[in-house]
């Protein structure tokens, strides 16, 4: 398995991975335009030349970042691919000085194993909600907010 920064050539594969889960209602959809605009945020997992996983780290406010667009091919789940992507995103966040990394998820158990804990959405600064305006679930979001305090503080 190769883990690397995403390139323009990966956008269609990421679009397919993310939006297949979005069509099942377990992930938020991402447009091709959004993926192109956030390409530098993304990491992919590649197996034998095929993109089988992706995830992004989006900086939102002060030393706060978000893990988003985490998707692994259904035929490749439970192989540690998603966990490795998140670990790499956390390390990347640390290199930029992030002190906290949050996620909004339907899979809290997965993120708990990676050091995240549940919080209320109201614990996050209002700045992070700018992307929510375009969400079809706004204002009735049912995702679970979780945070990883990289410095160990609460």
Whether 38 maps to a domain, the answer reads yes
What is the sign of the dihedral through the CA atoms of 23, 27, 32 and 34?
A: positive
Say yes or no to pLDDT of 108 above 80: yes
Residue 151: the pLDDT is 72
Residue 121: the pLDDT is 80
Between residues 3 and 138, the one the model is more confident about = 3
Whether 66 maps to a domain, the answer reads yes
Segment 121-148 mean pLDDT: 72
Whether 154 maps to a domain, the answer reads no
Whether 43 maps to a domain, the answer reads yes
Specify the pTM: 0.90
* CA atoms of 54 and 8, how far apart (whole Å): 13
CA distances from 21 to 34, 65, 81 (A): 16, 23, 16
> How many domains is the chain built from?
1
Whether 123 maps to a domain, the answer reads yes
Residue 132: the pLDDT is 63
Whether 63 maps to a domain, the answer reads yes
Domain carrying residue 46: 2-149
Query: 10 Å Cβ neighbour count for 60?
Result: 17
Whether 120 maps to a domain, the answer reads yes
pLDDT grade for 133, boundaries at 50, 70 and 90: low
Segment 110-137 mean pLDDT: 78
Say yes or no to pLDDT of 106 above 80: yes
CATH code of residue 93 = 3.40.630.30
Whether 116 maps to a domain, the answer reads yes
Residue 94: the pLDDT is 95
pLDDT grade for 30, boundaries at 50, 70 and 90: very high
Q: Which residues contact 69 (CB under 8 A, 6 or more apart)?
A: 14, 18, 27, 30, 35, 38, 42, 54, 55, 56
Average pLDDT across the chain, whole number: 90
- Decide the pairing of beta strands 100-105 and 64-72: parallel
């Amino acid at each position: 398995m190769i883990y690397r920064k995403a390139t323009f050539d990966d956008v269609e594969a990421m679009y397919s991975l993310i939006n297949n889960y979005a069509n099942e209602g377990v992930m938020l959809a991402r447009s091709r335009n959004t993926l192109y605009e956030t390409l530098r945020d993304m990491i992919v997992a590649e197996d034998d030349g095929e993109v089988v996983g992706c995830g992004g780290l989006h900086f939102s406010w002060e030393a706060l970042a978000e893990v988003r667009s985490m998707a692994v091919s259904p035929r490749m789940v439970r192989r540690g691919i998603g966990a490795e992507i998140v670990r790499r995103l956390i390390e990347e966040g640390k290199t930029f000085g992030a002190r906290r990394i949050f996620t909004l998820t339907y899979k809290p158990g997965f993120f708990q194993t990676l050091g995240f804990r549940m919080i209320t959405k109201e614990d996050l600064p209002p700045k992070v909600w700018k992307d929510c305006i375009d969400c079809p679930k706004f204002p009735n979001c049912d995702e679970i907010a979780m945070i990883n305090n990289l410095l160990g503080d609460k």
